[in-house]
Amino acid sequence: MKCLRISILALLALLALSANMVSPSSAEQGFLPLSTKGVQFLAIGEFVWETHNKESTKCTKTSGTGTFTSDSKATGTLTFEGCTSLGFSSLSLTSTTAGQVKENVSLAICLINSAELKFGIAITPTETAHVEVPAVGVLFELKGTIIGEIATKKGKLFSITFGGKEGLGNVPECKAGTETIKSSLLSRKDPEAFGELSWSIKLLVQFGEEVELMDADTSRWPHDLSRSAAGGGPRTSAGIAARLEHALSRQARTFAGARITQPVCPRAIHGAGACSHP
């Protein structure tokens, strides 16, 4: 009887599973699958922020684009339009259009509650934002990170609500891998010192394909499989397959370039005798 060959894929699958069982904290959470990396952003309603001195800024429209560099990390640009500060038209130093504030941002998918698998997204400007009010010669500066809870778990369109008061977010922190991300947004009116900020915005993130939010920690798979309908129902076989594929692809990248050129014989491994190869 001919000996079965064990493919490199099977070996990597075993390595990936054992690695996750030994060190689940090394796994990442994010959107799976993610063959289409680009996303679009759109806000529902106004983006409003207010300084500790009750000086408010409102923007009537928000849009943007982003690109995921991994399952859980992305970069992008958010554009706010129809912006007014102190009752006058305002704009960012990166824009030449009245009422427009444009900022480059980094994004991270994170876990707000690992037991309940509540996911969030953290948005951080790549540098301190500057918003100018030419009519009154005022310049505002903003810095920090906002975290919003993602309402949906699967689909093409995801809704995220951001909010905070006096510098502290409604979602105070989340975990991205081993990193703890804290929500805090500060602003100042030049040349004053930075102070606490209150803010609110609801964003929609549009993908070009159906994706699902998953925690790639395989130590939680049995829990996912046994969840009752009240807790969200059992994980679908497609979801489990996506997790396995994700773990496998991570391990495959680790062993990039590695190749097995000789067939492996299970009988020989277990001392059952020699193999006959085709």
Reported as a single tens digit per residue, the pLDDT across 51-108 is: 888 899 999 999 999 999 988 999 999 999 999 999 999 999 988 899 999 999 999 9
Instruction: State how far the Cα of 219 lies from the Cα of 231, in Å rounded to an integer.
Output: 18
CA max distance for the chain = 89
Contact 153, 103 (CB under 8 A): no
Phi, psi of 160 (to 5 degrees): -130, 130
Contact 218, 27 (CB under 8 A): yes
Residue 15 neighbours by CB under 8 Å, 6+ apart:
251, 255
3-state helix, strand, coil in the chain (%, to 5): 20, 50, 35
Q: Which two tokens stand for residue 68?
A: 């995921």
Residue 174: its pLDDT value, please?
A: 93
The model's pLDDT over 162-220, given as tens digits with 9 standing for 90+, comes to 988 876 788 999 999 889 999 988 898 888 888 888 989 999 999 989 999 887 654 34
Quick one: what percent of the chain has pLDDT higher than 70? 67
Of 107, 156, 123, 113, the closest CA to residue 47 belongs to 123
Residue 217: its pLDDT value, please?
A: 57
Instruction: State how far the Cα of 195 lies from the Cα of 2, in Å rounded to an integer.
Output: 74
37 vs 239: which has the higher pLDDT: 37
Of 271, 49, 266, the closest CA to residue 144 belongs to 49
32 vs 5: which has the higher pLDDT: 32
Kindly report the length of the chain: 278
- Which residues on neighbouring strands pair with residue 78, listed in sequence order? 64, 103
Residue 165: its pLDDT value, please?
A: 84
Strands (E) in 100-178, as ranges, are 101-113, 118-125, 129-133, 138-150, 154-165, 168-176
The four Cα atoms 201, 209, 214, 123 give a dihedral, to 10 degrees, of -30
What is the rounded average pLDDT for all residues in the chain?
76
Residue 82: its pLDDT value, please?
A: 96
Assign 275 a pLDDT band (cuts: 50, 70, 90). low
Residue 155 neighbours by CB under 8 Å, 6+ apart:
210, 211
pLDDT above 50 for 23? no
pLDDT above 60 for 3? no
The model's pLDDT over 115-153, given as tens digits with 9 standing for 90+, comes to 888 999 999 999 999 999 999 999 999 999 999 999 988
